[in-house]
């Protein structure tokens, strides 16, 4: 399926027009919100996964930490996706030809699928019933996949 026409349309859409024309709106509702939400998402991932690895907050049950962190993860993800669509619309054609944009989208897709299909269903309920090695593998994979999302995302800014 050829996606270029969609990206061309996105750049001429209302969102693309606003982002392209008004730098202030792009900087505030786009980049600032996106980066702050990325910080919240990164924080929630690190808090939950470092607790699962028994590195931090050992005096709090990992079930509670994972549950609380996941609530903020969902909020941050919603903000990241909406501000990301707005930002990408303004430079859609440039994004289409940028390898790191596609690397980020792939990592983001894997990250979201991993959280909602694998990690959350596994960690619901008592963590004492799960093999410790599996918990640690899942935590390391989670940190790596979200690190990759952040790193490839920043790389977009330094390429093309």
Partner 1 sequence: MTLKKELSTKEKVAAVVAGTIILSAIFYWSFQFVGMLEFLEMAYG
The footprint of partner 1 (CB under 8 A) covers 103, 110, 114, 118-119, 121-122, 127-135, 137-138, 140-142, 144-145, 147-148
Closest to partner 1 by CB, 14 vs 158, is 158
Q: Shortest distance, CB of residue 70 to partner 1, whole angstroms?
A: 16
Closest to partner 1 by CB, 89 vs 138, is 138
Q: Shortest distance, CB of residue 7 to partner 1, whole angstroms?
A: 24
Nearest to 89 by CA among 160, 22, 159: 22
Q: Shortest distance, CB of residue 5 to partner 1, whole angstroms?
A: 29
| Distance separating alpha carbons of residues 113 and 105, to the nearest angstrom | 12
Q: Shortest distance, CB of residue 105 to partner 1, whole angstroms?
A: 14
Closest to partner 1 by CB, 2 vs 129, is 129
DSSP per position, 41-71: HHHHHHHHHHHHTTSS-TTS-HHHHHHHHHH
Cα 102 versus chain centre, distance: 14
Helical H runs in 26-158?
33-52, 62-90, 92-96, 99-113, 120-123, 132-157
Q: 49 near 13, Cβ under 8 Å? A: no
Q: Shortest distance, CB of residue 138 to partner 1, whole angstroms?
A: 5
């Amino acid at each position: 399926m050829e996606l270029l026409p969609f990206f061309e349309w996105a750049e001429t859409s209302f969102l693309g027009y606003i982002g392209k024309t008004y730098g202030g709106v792009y900087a505030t509702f786009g980049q600032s919100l996106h980066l702050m939400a990325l910080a919240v998402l990164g924080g929630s991932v690190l808090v939950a996964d470092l607790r699962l690895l028994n590195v931090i907050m050992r005096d709090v049950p990992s079930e509670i930490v994972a549950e609380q962190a996941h609530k903020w993860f969902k909020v941050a993800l919603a903000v990241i996706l909406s501000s990301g669509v707005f930002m990408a619309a303004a430079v859609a054609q440039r994004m289409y030809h940028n390898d790191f944009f596609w690397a980020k989208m792939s990592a983001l897709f894997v990250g979201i699928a991993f959280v909602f299909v694998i990690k959350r269903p596994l960690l619901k309920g008592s963590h004492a019933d799960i093999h410790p090695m599996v918990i640690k593998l899942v935590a390391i994979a989670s940190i790596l996949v979200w690190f990759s999302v952040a790193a490839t995302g920043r790389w977009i800014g330094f390429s093309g």
